[in-house]
Amino acid sequence: MSNQRYSRKRTHAQPAQRDLKDVDYDLRKFGESLKAPEQYEEDARRLINKVVLQTLRKESKYSIGRHDFGGSYAKKTDVINPDLDTVARVRNCRPPFNKVLDDWERVLRANEKCLKIKPGIYKKSERSLNFFFTNGISVDLLPAVDANENDLVKISKEMGRNKKTAYYNGAVFVEDQVEFLKSKSYSGFTNTVVRLSKFCFKSWYLGGEKCPGGSAMIELIAVAAVEKEFTRNYASEFRALKEVMVMLSNLDTLKLAFSRVDDDDDDEPEWELVKQSKLQCRNENWLIPDIVGKREILERDCFIIDPANPFQDYLEEKSRKVFVKIKNFANNIIDRLDLLLREKEEEGCMQKLFKPMLKDLTKENQSLFLPTDFLLTCDKRYNPNSVYNEVKIWNDSIMEDEKISRAVKVLKKNLITVVHSTVEGNPDTVTVDDVQEAVEDLIENNLQTDIEDASRRDKHSDNYDVTIKVPYFIDDKSYAVFLSLLWDSD
């Protein structure tokens, strides 16, 4: 596929509505700003290599083969400071990997200082171990079978017969998951649309409802939207992003799958989007044998199938409430996009499009326990060498409360969204006062309180339970927003 890309041409006359190519330019520029900083790339590889190659390989009871990066970092669809998904191949070991994860945690705890891991902060599921480096990078370390091509065929057959096996072995397909996005990049166009879509999605609070695989779901929807956009003579980021939102607004009827295309003359794997006409078929042949997925998935009213793992449906574990909330958020973004194209003014258009939807979080008391006091500083000069968003936990026990932990995550995401959309949404004229106004507006809406009623303490310290830090740059000067939070001890 080939589409001509255009550079921006500004005019002095004010048009009846903004030119589509001008809007695309702004979206493309904002999408570029969402990439993780170069320092992240350097730190990520250096720190993970030290964890896996220099430590786990030497001190773990289990023999470790190669390791691969997965997730948005490896796919180049990262947004600001992404989690660092790392898959380590374990030799002569089959899932479940509970004992492997226990052993890895033991080794990491014993080497926290030299590995620069935040002490004591570990979360473990049945298939991953989560921890943080001291610079704020979050890591999900996943074990996988050290499998060759023949082993993968056997594993796929086992996954088709046993749902639990499919759950444990998902990480074994990490290379194909990464290759899928790479094959659809179209000179970075897809990556930009994915980043813009994920930036929107990350700011949507789903009321405490779980949304496993949400990031991967957005990626696949964005790829499908781009495929549609590339049937036109001119591919528009605006239209592609709007198509993503249209698909999300119809999520409860969406059917999405990709078929592997084997080419003997090409070593790189390729996939093609399965036509909707085939996905709607309900006959004995199903007409789509390349999906491999079980019939029970294909018979559902909606599904999004992982191209690399045909037993993974990203809509399978979504509650009815999640569908409703996502559809409502998507319709709101569609309205904003329509308004964006109609507006004559260029200044601040990206800020208006991407700013968080202001929400009264006090109404979410079933899923959140909000702080009773806080201290907010928006104009503090900061170390220019620190580019990571961080959460400093002063009171370790406070994060054991799930509703408090969730509140911290929500407030952190909202802060990141409002700071980035304010700074990068209007980079030519933005001031520190603009950032402060936007953040104060957010906090007052989220917590339903007046900033003037906040703590009079003048220092972000262990007088609080948690401090959230979000750095930003204006005119090559580094600043940071600090939000310290305190909960009643009762």
- Nearest one of 265, 297, 260 to 279, comparing CA atoms: 297
Which residues have a Cβ under 8 Å from the Cβ of 439 and sit 6 or more positions away? Answer: 376, 378, 415, 418, 419, 422, 481
Q: Of all residues in the chain, what percent carry a pLDDT higher than 70?
A: 91
Q: Where are the domains of the chain?
A: 38-171, 184-323, 355-486
Sheet holding 64-70, edge to edge: 64-70, 84-90, 138-145, 129-132, 123-124
pLDDT at 294 over 90: no
Helix axes 237-249, 320-342, angle to 10 degrees: 150
> pLDDT: is 445 or 13 the higher one?
445
pTM: 0.92
- Helix (H) or strand (E) holding 309, with range, is none
Both tokens assigned to 407: 């509140």
CA distance linking residue 278 with residue 48, whole number of Å:
43
Contact 369, 116 (CB under 8 A): no
- Domain 38-171 fold is Beta Polymerase; domain 2 (3.30.460)
Tell me: the pLDDT tens digits for 371-383?
Answer: 999 999 998 887 7
Q: Give the least confident one: 160-164, 196-200, 277-281, 346-350.
A: 277-281
> pLDDT: is 316 or 293 the higher one?
316
Q: Residue 136 — φ and ψ, nearest 5°? A: 105, -10
Task: Kindly state the average pLDDT of the residues 430-440.
Answer: 95
pLDDT at 460 over 80: yes
Tell me: the pLDDT tens digits for 124-172?
Answer: 999 999 999 999 999 999 999 999 888 888 888 888 788 888 888 999 9
pLDDT of residue 286: 41
